[in-house]
Amino acid sequence: MSFFVQQHSIVFLKGFITLFLSCIIATRFNFCLSNSNIPFSFKTLPLEGHLSFDETTLNKASTDFGNRYQYHPVAVLHPNSVSDIATTIKHIWNMGPSSHLTVAARGHGHSLQGQSQTHGGVVIKMESLKQHEMQVHVGNFPPYVDVSGGELWINILHETLRYGLAPRSWTDYLHLTVGGTLSNAGVSGQAFKHGPQISNVQQLQIVIGTGEVVDCSEVKNEELFHSVLGGLGQFGIITQARILLEEAPSMVKWIRVLYSDFEAFTRDQERLISQDNAFDYIEGFVIINRTGLLNNWRSSFNPQDPVQASHFNSDGKTLFCLELAKYINFQHIDIVNQEVERHLSDLNYIQSTLFVTEVTYVEFLDRVHVSEMKLRSKGLWDVPHPWLNLFIPKSKIHSFAQVVFGNILTQTSNGPVLIYPVNKSKWGNRSSVVIPDEDIFYLVAFLTSAVPCSNGSDGLEHILSQNKRILEYCERENLGVKQYLPHYNTQEEWRDHFGTQWEAFRQRKLVYDPFAILAPGQRIFQKTITTSSL
């Protein structure tokens, strides 16, 4: 009897497995069959540019600077015009909710965790968008430049300098697209003075999730305007932007000083960002267990007192570097030098560590690109970059530093650790960016690079574990920290991130991208597929 039952069970199990596999195969066949029609339907679209389906192009579009995630699209759009983008999105919109297709706008591919990728969807190569040449408008106050959403900031710098002008706010790295940085915030050492890049935009042109092209500004379609700025690509693709400009300096006086006392370091930073016209750029970074530091600077910076500097010894201590820049026009150079001396005399840095250099404006702003070229030559650029960027309230920065720099991050970081304060008043209060609810908050950025195949402290797993410990500490102690360039895997985590802004964010998504076609790589909203698609 038991033998019969056993045989019957085996037969039943085999039948069940066969049926189960048949269902999987049928489902996959139907999915593949529907996907096989995608290239054909796209080939009928009236485009000025073109769609690519070749494996090399698709592979490139499935990677990014983070070098950790890889999602393959089915096509890459190289748009020649805004209408190409609108036509493609409209085509997918017309397919309705039964289509699996989504769209990801890709700038220079500098996203960290697959945010510019889409699995089985369409990647739009924004750098191909060259419909409008840059137009610099000098007869207005303030002056401005109209640029494509796919334009690189380094190109904008060079073009505006021809008119003696330049954008007011930057990121530390200029080889990024306008649409990419405006979809996040765009933060650097000028943010304390001018706010992030999203605070220096007058108007935008957007292609929303239905394929409609919409112009927006502070006074026209203002809800869309503010939603898109810092909106992580959820409400539309930025195809054109009007960027505010200021007079560009001739030279930059670039200064570095060191602190061993974190309280003195932050006190001086906070004092400087509250003063008018003290410096034009204020950042800082953390130096852990480093020796010979000043010797590394000697090739480009001059010590104010060479004798004192030669006697400086870090003794492996954790040090804090204050990095300052003052913009110079030649006709005012003597006055600027006097002002710099006066402001420096009020600071409490280690006197022997004052290092100064003077460089051109382009050399200063494009300084990270020089480091990139060196790393590329050594094969150390295209590696995993498990970066962690945090906004930390001023009231919690000392607790954070004590635990993180004192206990968690105890060895030299494989990349810079930035730390500097900004004024909340310069950010506005209507964009989609989530920031701490204090007048001053700090950006702390762990810009690490992982050594491939390493199992040590410079390996990917160790760095990710370290990042996790930092985030767990922030959550456990309820520090009110918010991630910049955020990444979460569940909508519940995103809801916590946005807090009281979540419901408004969700409602805007329903208005401007109701089928959740755009920016799937952010993993905030998932496209709902009806059963008719199977």
Q: Please identify every residue annotated as catalytic.
A: 110, 172, 283
**How many residues are given for the chain?**
534
Structure tokens at 63: 């990677």
Residues 410/416/419/420 CA torsion (nearest 10 deg): 160
Place of tokens 């930025």: 238
Residues in contact with 431: Cβ distance below 8 Å, sequence separation at least 6, in sequence order: 185, 198, 226, 227, 229, 230, 231
How far CA 384 is from CA of 8, 37, 318, 416, 452, in Å, comes to 53, 35, 26, 15, 7
How far CA 231 is from CA of 243, 349, 498, 508, in Å, comes to 18, 39, 11, 10
Among positive and negative, which fits the CA dihedral 37, 40, 42, 46? negative
Among positive and negative, which fits the CA dihedral 191, 197, 199, 200? positive
Preceding amide of 142 cis, omega within 30: yes
**358: enclosing H helix or E strand:** strand 355-360
Place of tokens 């996790």: 468
Residue 357 CA to residue 253 CA, distance in Å, equals 6
Q: Taking the CA of residue 355 as centre, how many other CA atoms within 13 Å lie in the half-sphere pointing to its CB?
A: 21
Structure tokens at 122: 């369409």
E-strand stretches of 20-84: 50-52, 75-78
Amino acid identity of residue 309, one-letter, is: A
* Structure letter (DSSP) for residue 452: T
Residue 326 CA to residue 237 CA, distance in Å, equals 35
Residue 151 CA to residue 37 CA, distance in Å, equals 33
Structure tokens at 83: 């209408």
